[in-house]
Amino acid sequence: MTGAPALAKVAVLISGRGSNMQALAAHAGDAYEIVVVASDKPEAAGLAWALQAGLPTFALSPRGIGKQAYEAALDAALREAGAEWIALAGYMRLLSDDFVARWRGRIVNIHPSLLPKYKGLDTHARAIAAGDAEAGCSVHLVTEELDGGEVLGQARVPILPGDTPDTLAERVLAAEHRLYPAVLADMVRR
Ligand code: GRF
């Protein structure tokens, strides 16, 4: 008799409220499980949620210890937790080339634009200023190039007359919450 296939072990990295982490957690148990939620901001609201949800957490600020020591400790914590994949979910720190190389092909990120458009910050304001008819979000592999790795999935939403960066962000965020769990599940299965 064969049992259910093992769930892929995912570490989720956050820096803030963690709504994408919550969406990932809501869909865990089918293709993947979350083995640790890690944050570079010990005060991140998402970390408190993860703790309450009973998820293992790891919090460490690079402040005072430097990027190299911080990333070494993060790497050790993720491996200790048994992570096979890393899902960045509002993680606002650039990972070093060394870190990316150690996890090559196993780090994914969600970005609030239709990549390759609007890499970096202020994506919604830039899409509105450009007069775009639609915006959206992308899940992509993380490489050494900021928001530059292979796009694994995208969701589109309209930009409506009168939209502000905030109203557009809200519409895109709802799409993010649907897209990320689906793409992550596909990714770990392939
Ligand atoms: C999301 O818009 C995500 O695309 C971007 O940062 C935001 C994080 O939001 N990378 P949350 O912390 O998941 O609520």
Structure tokens that stand for 54 in this block: 């009973």
Task: Kindly report the protein residue whose alpha carbon is nearest to atom 6 of ligand 1.
Answer: 90
Q: What is the pTM of this model?
A: 0.97
How does the average pLDDT of the chain come out, rounded?
A: 97
Domain boundaries, the chain: 8-189
H/E run at residue 187 = helix 165-189
Q: Which atom of ligand 1 is nearest to the CA of 21?
A: 13
Q: What tokens appear for 128 in the block? A: 């509105």
pLDDT higher than 70, residue 40: yes
What mean pLDDT do residues 36-49 have?
A: 98
What digits encode the pLDDT tens for the residues 65-103? Answer: 999 999 999 999 999 999 999 999 999 999 999 999 999
Query: DSSP secondary structure string, 135-146?
Result: EEEEEEE--SST
Torsions phi, psi of 111, nearest 5? -125, 135
First to last CA, the chain: 23
User: Which tens digits make up the pLDDT trace of 14-37?
Assistant: 999 999 999 999 999 999 999 999
Pocket of ligand 1 contains residue 136 by CB under 6 Å? no
Examine the residue annotation and report whether 124 is marked as an active-site residue of this protein. no
Q: Is 8 helix (H, G, I), strand (E, B) or coil?
A: strand
Which residue, among 80, 71, 81, has the nearest Cα to 102 in the 3D structure?
71
**151 has pLDDT over 60:** yes
pLDDT bucket at 144, cuts 50 / 70 / 90 = very high
| pLDDT at residue 1 in the model | 55
Question: Is residue 41 scored above 80 in pLDDT?
Answer: yes
What is the second-level CATH architecture of the domain 8-189?
A: 3-Layer(aba) Sandwich (3.40)
Which residue out of 110, 152, 168, 183 has the highest number of ligand 1 atoms within 8 Å of its CB and is therefore the one to mutate? 110
What pLDDT does 2 receive? 64
